[in-house]
Amino acid sequence: MSILIVGANGQLARHTTARLLAETDSRLTLFLRRASRLPNPDPARVTIVEGDATNEAALTVAMKGQDAVYASLAGEMGQQARAIVGAMHRAGLKRLIFISSMGIYGEVPGESYRSILDPYRDSAAVIGASDLDYTILRPGRFTRGPSIDFTITHKGEPFKGHDVSMNSLAYLIAKLCLSPSLHVRSSLGVSN
């Protein structure tokens, strides 16, 4: 299994990279801006590619030969999602795991989150309108605890809980990357 990680220098992406290297035999391509910041954690299995997630042409090249794409981004997420979906079409890939946030559908009881989540809403809408085998994750607030313990809620259901450990998310992301049909075309709330 070959996995492209877009936004690979983010804290959750680095956590998930470590898990994928420790728990699977996947080959990883780490795609990030200013690649000199990230030491290669395992040169036998990891390729590092410098690029911007809004650059569809660069993403298309990086997607060659991959089985799954895991995107863990921030900022101009609508534009990034459009570039990723376009590149996946051009590269002939189907499987996308995309990190969003709790609250994008007003699903967290007592919270509105308003415009701060607009980039997350835009990107989820772009991906949801695509024909990809996507799984959008809407995590709660990240914690650093060692536990792997989480609850999933589906789109249309109220979000349960508030926090989730990065260990839990890395476990779930790794499972999704390795399982082409698990939770396909779904947007999942994740918290413990």
Ligand X SMILES: NC(=O)c1ccc[n+]([C@@H]2O[C@H](COP(=O)([O-])OP(=O)(O)OC[C@H]3O[C@@H](n4cnc5c(N)ncnc54)[C@H](OP(=O)(O)O)[C@@H]3O)[C@@H](O)[C@H]2O)c1
- Cβ neighbours of residue 93 closer than 8 Å, sequence gap 6 or more: 63, 66, 67, 68, 69, 132
Determine if 136 is a binding residue for ligand X (CB under 6 A). Answer: no
Q: Does 142 interact with ligand X (rule: CB under 6 A)? A: yes
Least distance (Å) from ligand X to the CB of residue 32?
A: 6
How many residues bind to ligand X according to rule CB under 6 A?
A: 23
Minimum CB separation from ligand X for residue 106, in Å? Answer: 15
Among 46, 60, 85, 139, binds ligand X (CB under 6 A): 139
Closest CA to 23 of 182, 191, 175, 179: 175
Determine, following the binding rule CB under 6 A, whether residue 11 of this chain makes contact with ligand X: yes
Structure tokens at 124: 């989820």
Q: Which residues contact 122 (CB under 8 A, 6 or more apart)?
A: 77, 78, 81
Residues that bind ligand X (CB under 6 A): 7, 9-13, 32-34, 52-54, 72-75, 80, 99, 101-102, 139, 141-142
